[in-house]
Structure 1
Amino acid sequence: MVLEAVACKHCGQAQQVKRYGTTRAGTQRYRCFDCGRTFVKIYTHKARDPLVKAQITQLGLNGSGVRDTARVLGINRNTVSSHFKKK
């Protein structure tokens, strides 16, 4: 059995990350005890990934429209517009 270090997707810390249950879909959740946030390694929905959320914000700041952003990232346009409303 090989143990691999899992780095936090939010703060990058690898030493304070522990397993923290499972999601409804059955994938393993992790919790970073340094920043206190939970995450999974591979998201089932693409729009839940923090990297995709950062890309939505970046494309919006560069003047891309909602439909264009959704087409480029491969997610629903309603997801993009709700992300903009939250920001």
Structure 2
Amino acid sequence: MLWNRPLLPVIKCRYCDKSDEVRLHGKGRSGYQRYRCLACKRTFQAKYIYNVGKQERSLSELDR
């Protein structure tokens, strides 16, 4: 019997390159899907967002 579910993209583990052992593992703080590799027991996301390049405000600027 065929299920009417969308096909998920094949995700390879970024650490051990296996794709048959990767499972869904919730969502990250950024909202992106997290994955867990059962072969190497590590978790990862397919896409990461970093706040590099944003200028930090000093405490003296926040007091104004």
- Scaled to the shorter chain, the TM-score interval is 0.5 to 0.7
Cα deviation, residue 4, structure 1: 1.6
Aligned-residue sequence identity (percent) comes to 35
Name the CA distance, whole Å, in 2 between partners of 1:17 and 1:27.
16
Name the CA distance, whole Å, in 2 between partners of 1:6 and 1:29.
11
Letter in 2 for 1:39: F
Letter in 1 for 2:16: C
Give the paired residue count: 48
Which structure ranks higher in relative contact order (CA pairs < 8 Å, sequence separation ≥ 6)? 2
Runs ≥4 residues deviating over 4 A: none
Task: Please identify which structure carries the higher helix content.
Answer: 1
Task: Please identify which structure carries the higher strand content.
Answer: 2
Task: Give unmatched runs, 5+ long, in structure 1.
Answer: 47-74, 77-87
Q: 1:40 aligns with which of 45, 57, 63?
A: 45
Cα deviation, residue 6, structure 1: 0.5
Structure showing greater radius of gyration is: 2
Aligned-CA RMSD value: 1.7
Q: TM-score, normalised by structure 1?
A: 0.50
